[in-house]
Amino acid sequence: MPVALITGVSGQDGSYLSDLLLAKGYEVHGIVRRTSLLSRARLENLRSGPAGERLTLHYGDLDEPLGLVRLLEQIQPDEVYNLAAQSHVQISFELPEFTGSVTGLGVIRLLEALRLTKPDAKFYQASSSEMFGSAPPPQHEGTPFHPRSPYGVAKVYGFWATVNYREGYDMFTTNGILFNHESPRRAENFVTRKITKAVAAIAAGKQTELRLGNLDAKRDWGFAGDYVELMWKMLQHHTPDDFVIATGEAHTVREFCEIAFAHAGLDWEKHVVVDPKFFRPAEVDYLLGDASKAERELGWKPATTFHQLVTMMVDADRAEIEG
Ligand code: NAP
Ligand code: G4F
């Protein structure tokens, strides 16, 4: 039975990746942080389901290098997926050093722990389209980085650390440069879920207004459930490499609002208020990915359309609020 270790297992992607690897017959180990309220809601169904006995959670933290060494020595994984990060771009302006430590240095802590304990394990790093920042679209593997936030800067560090361990130590280390991907499991302070939760609350008569920042930003939004398949495929590839994962289609925040509200029979313009509080010191205006390398070499295409993604999220939030 192959053994995988996932950092960030309690997050959106960690939960979808756990689903996928358990369905493929893996023994899955996940690292969770100590928090005052247990943050494992996304894993609850899996843990109580038939494959739950193959999922083991361990306390750990990317800020605790010796703990990582101890865990890797004990687990001896075949594959390591580093999904843990302070992943919120706007919050990274409030917590720049913390973000640099977890999202940037955390990568090298994990890589170094792996080099010392299990150098033949395959390694996936959750790199991000935020590294491209203000580089003109479409962005691909050869596009120079120009990050626009402490988060983006930290992800560039993690990207190059991953390349460096491949080149320096001949380790099987890879970067998935993923464009925005969403789902009903998305945290509520990212714009898509913030919108779909508000739509559900407004439709249920529990809220009237939704305050947002920049409506003109364009993002290449895909479905998280499709994207975790690529993480796994990258580690089954014959050589370690870096891949852009995207849909090749970009939409504005405004368009997301239009579709989400209309799906619930509402007019977005009657409810959305622009609030400067949500503007960022530096914005990423336009992300649009060119994933032709992944399509060519890994045989991958996203299954879910933008419209399906938006309506799936609205439906899930409405079902939750309406019981
Ligand atoms: P997420 O929902 O925010 O999950 C982040 C995970 O990291 C959570 O499990 C969190 O634990 C954990 N974490 C945070 N700090 C940690 C630390 N110091 N030590 C150990 N674990 C820690 O993010 P996501 O959307 O699933 O994204 C997964 C990864 O892909 C992240 O690295 C993100 O930056 C990257 N990425 C995401 C997207 C996207 O559009 N979703 C696109 C490109 C790249 P808690 O539950 O305890 O907070
Ligand atoms: O949903 P967002 O916060 O996601 P953002 O900044 O694009 O970052 C996400 O995608 C990255 C991949 O490109 C990941 F690496 C990262 O971890 C994260 O998952 O914001 C999307 C856009 C931005 O332009 C933002 O300014 O929506 C705009 N926006 C407008 N109003 C808002 C809001 N964003 C948030 N979070 N909240 C608002 O009220």
Do the first three CATH levels of 3-181+222-245 and 187-219+249-289+304-321 match, i.e. the same topology?
A: no
Please state, in angstroms and rounded to a whole number, the distance separating the CA atoms of residues 112 and 165.
9
The yes-or-no answer on residue 151 being catalytic is yes
* pTM for the model: 0.98
The yes-or-no answer on residue 128 being catalytic is yes
190 lines ligand 2 (CB under 6 A): yes
- In 10 A of CB 320, how many CB atoms? 11
Residue tagged active-site, from 26, 81, 124, 151: 151
The domain limits of the chain are: 3-181+222-245, 187-219+249-289+304-321
Q: Whose CA is nearest to atom 13 of ligand 1?
A: 84
The yes-or-no answer on residue 134 being catalytic is no
Nearest to 12 by CA among 259, 157, 151, 189: 189
pLDDT(300) > 90 = no
Going from the Cα of 140 to the center of ligand 1, the distance in angstroms, rounded, reads 23
Residue tagged active-site, from 128, 129, 149, 183: 128
CATH architecture of 3-181+222-245: 3-Layer(aba) Sandwich (3.40)
Nearest to 246 by CA among 300, 186, 201, 203: 300
pLDDT (average), residues 259-282 = 98
Going from the Cα of 114 to the center of ligand 2, the distance in angstroms, rounded, reads 31
Going from the Cα of 92 to the center of ligand 2, the distance in angstroms, rounded, reads 12
Q: What is the pLDDT of residues 204-242, one digit of tens each?
A: 999 999 999 999 999 999 999 999 999 999 999 999 999
Q: Angle at the Cα of 188 (from 227 to 260), degrees rounded to 5?
A: 75
Superfamily of segment(s) 187-219+249-289+304-321: UDP-galactose 4-epimerase, domain 1 (3.90.25.10)
Q: What is the pLDDT of residues 32-91, one digit of tens each?
A: 999 999 889 999 999 988 999 999 999 999 999 999 999 999 999 999 999 999 999 999
Q: Whose CA is nearest to atom 14 of ligand 1?
A: 85
- Report, in angstroms and rounded to the nearest whole number, the Rg of the chain calculated over CA atoms: 19
Percent of the chain at pLDDT > 70 equals 100
Q: What is the pLDDT of residues 175-195, one digit of tens each?
A: 999 999 999 999 999 999 999
Structure tokens at 123: 């390694």
10 touches 40 (CB < 8 A): yes
pLDDT (average), residues 102-110 = 98
Please state, in angstroms and rounded to a whole number, the distance separating the CA atoms of residues 35 and 14.
17
Our mutation pick for probing the ligand 1 site, out of 28, 83, 149, counting the most ligand atoms within 8 A of Cβ, is: 83
Going from the Cα of 121 to the center of ligand 2, the distance in angstroms, rounded, reads 33
**79 CB-side CA count, 13 A:** 24
Query: Per DSSP, what are the bridge partners of residue 174?
Result: 124
Please state, in angstroms and rounded to a whole number, the distance separating the CA atoms of residues 179 and 193.
16
pLDDT (average), residues 284-299 = 98
